[in-house]
Structure 1
Amino acid sequence: MNTEDNISDRDNVLFEAGIKLGALYHQFTGSPVNLKTVDSLEIAVQESISVQPCVESITVSINRDMIRSKLNSEFGYCELEGRMLDVRITARYDSAKVDVSLAFDEKLDYPLMKIEKIY
């Protein structure tokens, strides 16, 4: 039996969604940001990821309070950290659809990527 016979649309969409979150995290963390540029950075992240295969929708929110608390007093910006991100992606692969997220988990003190819903 071929290995691909055992791989479902659900498997593929979950893999694709995970790749999107991981790529987003590692591509954009460390980006310079301040309160004047945060809106455009959110849009840039959304638009960058939205053109990738299987992405049906994406929303990106960057925590402004965290930015405010991290701003460098001399230069007026900070670096985007994973803990500042709240990302929601809906992905589809053929018959399968999922919602995934990246959000800071205070209990774990970690920006956690999760499967939220499988349709």
Structure 2
Amino acid sequence: MEPTDRDAACFEAGIKFGALYHQFAGTPVSPRNAASLETAMEEAIENQPFCESVTVDILTEELEAEIQQGYTELSGHLMEVEVVVERDGVEVVTRMEMDEGYPLMRVESVRVADSRE
């Protein structure tokens, strides 16, 4: 069975999240550079094919609480991310949020522009 356009669009969204998370996890972060790091992450991932938009929100309250304990690096529990991919008439909206202590990446919605699938 050949993958559908819907399958390919969802796969692309997963690739974007894998790149974002594994490229930036471990980056030193502070409240002073959080906004510029958000922008860098968004712009880097938006360069990938089929990526329509990326929104990264580094959770500054959680970040400040961690900094009280010393050096802090970026990890999943410190950010919320939305990635929107459009491929072959299919738009996929994905999000990453903490779910029971794990940075869970999930498909929020899939919209097919026409009735091909």
Could you state the TM-score of these two structures normalised by the residue count of structure 1?
Answer: 0.88
Which residue of structure 1 aligns with residue 60 of structure 2? Answer: 64
Unmatched 5+ residue regions in structure 2?
A: 112-117
Cα distance per residue 1:46-65 (max 9 Å; x no partner): 00000101111111100001
Alignment: residue pair count: 111
Q: Distance in 2 between matches of 1:70 and 1:28?
A: 18
Runs of 4+ in 1 over 4 A off after TM superposition: none
Q: Is the partner of 1:45 in helix, strand or coil? A: helix
Q: Is the partner of 2:41 in helix, strand or coil? A: helix
Q: CA deviation at 1:73?
A: 6.1
Q: CA deviation at 1:7?
A: 1.3
Could you state the TM-score of these two structures normalised by the residue count of structure 2?
Answer: 0.89
Which residue of structure 2 aligns with residue 14 of structure 1? Answer: 10
Cα distance per residue 1:50-107 (max 9 Å; x no partner): 0101111111100001110111666xx41011111111011011121110011112xx
Unmatched 5+ residue regions in structure 1?
A: none
Identity over the aligned pairs, expressed in percent? 41
Q: Distance in 2 between matches of 1:39 and 1:14?
A: 28
Q: CA RMSD in A?
A: 1.4
